[in-house]
Amino acid sequence: MQVFYLEQTVDLLNQILSTHLAEVLRYTQYSLLASGYDKLSIANLFTELASESLRQAQAIGKILTAMNEQPKLAIPSFGEPMQQSVQEMSTQEMLLRSLHQERQALALNRALLQNAQKLNYHLEQLADSMLLHAEAKTRKLMYQLNEQEVSVCLSLSA
């Protein structure tokens, strides 16, 4: 039974690693393409999120190697429809897509925590910490989306 949960945990860690690597690329691209009146704050947010994703990816890689496992450095597709190019995306669309991806990452982190609880306390604590980081990133995106909506409402009423 332990072997099953260990294999599942390694698979989840590799999926989360891949997700973080994709986030590094996505957030870096979004930070370069941010536009509008609040370009600087949006670019800084995406740069910060890219840095956090890189730190998390490195931490997961260390966890995997400590478990005598090989980190799989695959970067999944962004899962974004190619109906429009990234250059044509509004800031709000970038934030919405980022929030969608972060929510998917949250689901992976929750699954990891459930598995880790069945294995050992140390791994459970690491998974819990990773979940907290993912939740914090989601909150940052939600806050920024709310700011965008308020700005749009204010500009429409003026």
Would you kindly state where each structural domain of the chain is located, as residue ranges? 2-75+90-157
pLDDT per residue over 95-149, tens digit each?
Answer: 999 999 999 999 999 999 999 998 888 889 999 999 999 999 999 999 999 887 7
pLDDT per residue over 77-90, tens digit each?
Answer: 765 554 456 667 88
**Spatial separation of the C-alpha atoms in residues 32 and 26, rounded to whole Å:** 10
Residue 123, token pair as written in the block: 């791994």
Report pLDDT for 83: 45
- In percent, the amount of the chain with pLDDT more than 70 equals 87
Report pLDDT for 82: 44
CATH superfamily of the domain spanning 2-75+90-157:
Ferritin, core subunit, four-helix bundle (1.20.1260.10)
Chain centroid to Cα 128, Å, comes to: 15
Report pLDDT for 75: 80
Report pLDDT for 37: 81
